[in-house]
Structure 1
Amino acid sequence: MLNLSDNRIEPGKYISRFESLKSVEYSFKPLRKIRTVVIVSVIFVVFLFLPWTQNVRAPGNLTTLYPDQKPQTVQNIIPGRIEKWFVREGQLVQKGDTIIQMSEVKDAYFDPKLIERTDDQIGSKKNAAVNYKQKAGALTDQIDALAKNRINKAEQAENEVIQAQLKLVSDSIDFEASKLDYAIASQRLQRMEELYKQGLKSLTDLESRRLKVQESQAKQISAENKLLTARNELLNAKIELNSIDNYYAEMLGKAKSDRNSALSTFYDTEAEISKMQGQLSNYQVRRDNYFVTATQAGHITRTLSVGLGETIKEGTEIVSIMPIDYDLAVELYIEPVDLPLMKIGDEANIIFDGWPAIVFSGWPQLSNGTFGGEVWAIDNFISSNGKYRIILIPETEEGGWPEDLRVGSGADGIMLLRNVPLWYELWRQLNGFPPDYYTVFGEDEGNGEKK
């Protein structure tokens, strides 16, 4: 090789003898290699300046946009015993279709005529309430009559008091007149006695005068008795007036008490009627709940309670229903470091399980088999898995998603961000930097471009 020895080996002497050496035979063509290296380097440099779309990729699954479109379970309201099934798994049911029939398990509701008996009790209570109300009305009339009688009796007693007062005045005058007559008769008797002593009057005249005095004294005593009697009558009239007030006050108080008692019983009866009417409504609703029906149209995906004669509690999950009409959405979970990059209305490419796709994440225009989407909602609170959930809906400009998609299947979301040169993306990836999320100063926030 360095020509230091005289024993030289001819280059083609052994090469021609071995096929393997022939295949790797050295050919010196430097200009062609240099040209190739230069072309490859130019292509690589040009390739580094190609645009690259930054993106965030996150796994997720299909869900529905509205809560009432998600798979739901049908539950029973009351406890019972399963008597009959009306559906099977995979069956399409409409809203209101019967799923199962139950029977009663509580002894308080075993009576088959419970509703009719309760209705009869309500009728009896209503009649009792009417009677109590009529009693209260009669007592009200009695109170009015007592009040009128009290006025009349009071006026009558007042008149008797006035009459007693007038009689007292008259008897007082008579008594004073009798006193005056007695005094005059006494003075005349004294003068008669003096005249009799002087011999001017006879004994007969004196005795006649003495009789007059006794008569005047008797009249005075009689007038005094009448006066005392009149005073007693006046006192009795006043007592009678007071007794009338007390008597009618007592009668009115008793009548009002009876009326209040009747009204209280009436209101209690009304309350019992309302309570029994509520119980009757509960019995009727409970009887309707013996049949568990579908809450909306959908397919029976799974029966959760099986068999006949099984006793179930209230709130037991019986079947699971998937609604017929639903709006699909994709829920993805992104890392907290990527959360500042997301905003409502951002575009995304979605890969669905079962739909083959050729994906160039940096060149979404060259991808095939992906479907367009946009960010509909972003959670404000982190999920239990330590990530934030975002919701994607179909992008209207690119058409809808496949009709054969099912809720719960898997999906991958590629969130499209800012366009950058390829060399910058390689440099960012090598340094472990996150995608750019700063906005250009003075840029219109409405265009939504990230920088």
Structure 2
Amino acid sequence: MLNISHNKVDKLFDMSLYVSGKRVLQVKYFKIFNRLLIGFAVFIFILLFMPWTQTINGTGQVTTLKLDQRPQTIQSPIPGRIEKWFVQEGDFVKKGDTILEISEVKSDYFDPNLVQRTGDQIAAKSSSVVSYTGKVKALERQIEALNTESLLKLEQARNKLTQSKLKVKTDSIDLEATRTNFNIAQSQYERTVQLQEEGLKAVKDVEEKRLKLQETQAKLLSQENKLLVSKNEVINAVVDISTVRASYNDKISKAQSDQFTAQSNQFDTEAQVSKLENAYSNYEIRNQMKYITAPQDGFINKALRGGLGEAFKEGEQLVGIMPSQFDLAVETYIKPIDLPLLHVGEKVRVQFDGWPAIVFSGWPDVSYGTYGAKVMAIENFISDNGKYRVLLAPDDKENAWPTAIRVGSGAQTLALLEDVPIWYELWRKINGFPPNYYKSSKSSTDVK
């Protein structure tokens, strides 16, 4: 009954005379309800001052701690065609085990004796290098011989020039002597003619003196001619020196030109030998690449290329492999606003997908099914999903992670921050404030 009327019934008659009235008018139940309200309010008030651990939530997946332990695909560095498979999906392989055999698809490498033929070409070109080396040495000896011969020839020509000059001096002296004799003979002839005219000499004497004068004049002319011949010999000796120098310079230049040509051919042949040796090594390595081997111990996950005779390009993925030995880790992603709150070495709780767990965000100690982890690395650049990647490793001081977890399974993470009262956490979330900013007491040196 609603008590909204001004005409109250309890004033007209006594309701306590009736059983129902006694039950309705009894006020004891108000005391119990009030006590419950007061107790609940006290509990809520006390609860508001209880500690609450601030956390940063993140989602990620299970990965491996080291880069060489993560799942990988095997590619072929050369194009080819699948000829034979040696493994099946799920097989365990050791490092170096053959996974499949491929064959060439390029016509340049079809020859099965390509390596041997290339080796024969290297041997032939190496012989050419030896021949050119011998020719260069022979030309060097020829140039040395020509230089020596030219020095001797020049010395011989210079000696001849010196002799010609000395002969010119001798002929000049003889010419002066002959000229003096001619002058004497002429004077004697003139005196004899004068004496004959005076009657002191006979005609015979005059004729003898004339004959002697003519003989002396002939000697004079002969000596002058001889002197000119000697001078011509000097000129010829000078010309011979120039001729010898020019001749041997031409011979030496020609020999040097042949030597440089031989050296050029030698260097060109050596370059060809080096190129062939490079090709020989490439062919040998390429032949080894016809067998795709396992880079490490692991399990064959999936053949990305199947069948026989299927062609593929270089660098194309052929088969996936999962290493057999690995250290589990979790990569999680956090919002940029939470990035300053995380530090290397901080504690994190991890919940794995498919693993039973009861999680209390504010009380991680009473959570069940979560496992301890610590921050190992924080990415410095934002990922494609707009968050920062954080790598977590198992905490050695906590329980070990389940061995049944596989790489790639999902995970949820709770990064533990400061302990604050519940009323402060409610006030922070109502106002949209971020968790408390703080600096970790652990340094990177301590974490290492």
TM-score band by shorter chain is over 0.9
Structure 1 residues 329 and 446 mapped into 2: Cα distance closer, same or farther (>3 Å)?
A: closer
Q: CA deviation at 1:87?
A: 1.2
Q: CA deviation at 1:395?
A: 1.1
**Match in the other structure for 2:367:** 367
The aligned runs of 1:264-279 (5 Å cut-off) are 264-279=264-279
- Per-residue Cα deviation, 1:385-415 (whole angstroms, up to 9, x for no partner): 1112211111111132111111110111011
**Match in the other structure for 1:19:** none
Q: CA deviation at 1:170?
A: 1.1
For 2:413 and 2:278, locate their aligned partners in 1 and report how far apart those are by CA, in whole Å: 55
3-state DSSP of counterpart to 1:397 = coil
Give, as a single letter, the amino acid of the residue that structure 2 aligns with 1:3.
Answer: D
Matched, 1:2 2:43: no
Q: CA deviation at 1:130?
A: 0.7
- Per-residue Cα deviation, 1:121-172 (whole angstroms, up to 9, x for no partner): 1111111111111111111111111111111111111111111111111111
**Match in the other structure for 1:173:** 173
The aligned runs of 1:383-422 (5 Å cut-off) are 383-422=383-422
Structure 1 residues 175 and 266 mapped into 2: Cα distance closer, same or farther (>3 Å)?
A: same
For 1:122 and 1:438, locate their aligned partners in 2 and report how far apart those are by CA, in whole Å: 71
For 1:227 and 1:11, locate their aligned partners in 2 and report how far apart those are by CA, in whole Å: 186
For 2:205 and 2:29, locate their aligned partners in 1 and report how far apart those are by CA, in whole Å: 204
Structure 2 unaligned residues grouped into runs of 5+: 1-7
Q: CA deviation at 1:345?
A: 1.5
**Match in the other structure for 2:55:** 55
CA contact (8 A) 2:15 2:21 kept: no
Q: CA deviation at 1:13?
A: 6.8
3-state DSSP of counterpart to 1:57 = strand
- Per-residue Cα deviation, 1:55-109 (whole angstroms, up to 9, x for no partner): 1211111112222222111000111111001111111111111111111111111
For 1:143 and 1:192, locate their aligned partners in 2 and report how far apart those are by CA, in whole Å: 72
CA contact (8 A) 2:92 2:298 kept: yes
**Cα RMSD over matched residues?**
2.3
- Per-residue Cα deviation, 1:216-266 (whole angstroms, up to 9, x for no partner): 101111111111111111211221122111111111111111111111111
Q: CA deviation at 1:210?
A: 0.6
Structure 1 residues 14 and 47 mapped into 2: Cα distance closer, same or farther (>3 Å)?
A: closer
**Match in the other structure for 2:344:** 344
3-state DSSP of counterpart to 1:383 = coil
Structure 1 residues 113 and 427 mapped into 2: Cα distance closer, same or farther (>3 Å)?
A: same
**Match in the other structure for 1:358:** 358
**Match in the other structure for 2:221:** 221
- Per-residue Cα deviation, 1:277-321 (whole angstroms, up to 9, x for no partner): 001111111111111111111111111111100111111100011
3-state DSSP of counterpart to 1:249 = helix
Which moved further from structure 2: 153-162 or 193-202? 153-162
Structure 1 residues 307 and 447 mapped into 2: Cα distance closer, same or farther (>3 Å)?
A: closer
**Match in the other structure for 1:83:** 83
Alignment length (residue pairs): 437
Give, as a single letter, the amino acid of the residue that structure 1 aligns with 2:284.
Answer: Q
Give, as a single letter, the amino acid of the residue that structure 2 aligns with 1:2.
Answer: V
Give, as a single letter, the amino acid of the residue that structure 2 aligns with 1:253.
Answer: S
Structure 1 residues 97 and 425 mapped into 2: Cα distance closer, same or farther (>3 Å)?
A: same
The aligned runs of 1:282-361 (5 Å cut-off) are 282-361=282-361
**TM-score w.r.t. structure 1 length?**
0.92
3-state DSSP of counterpart to 1:90 = coil
Give, as a single letter, the amino acid of the residue that structure 2 aligns with 1:122.
Answer: I
- Per-residue Cα deviation, 1:13-42 (whole angstroms, up to 9, x for no partner): 799xxxxxx9x9987334433333333332
3-state DSSP of counterpart to 2:397 = helix
For 1:132 and 1:165, locate their aligned partners in 2 and report how far apart those are by CA, in whole Å: 48
Q: CA deviation at 1:207?
A: 0.7
For 1:39 and 1:225, locate their aligned partners in 2 and report how far apart those are by CA, in whole Å: 159
Q: CA deviation at 1:7?
A: 11
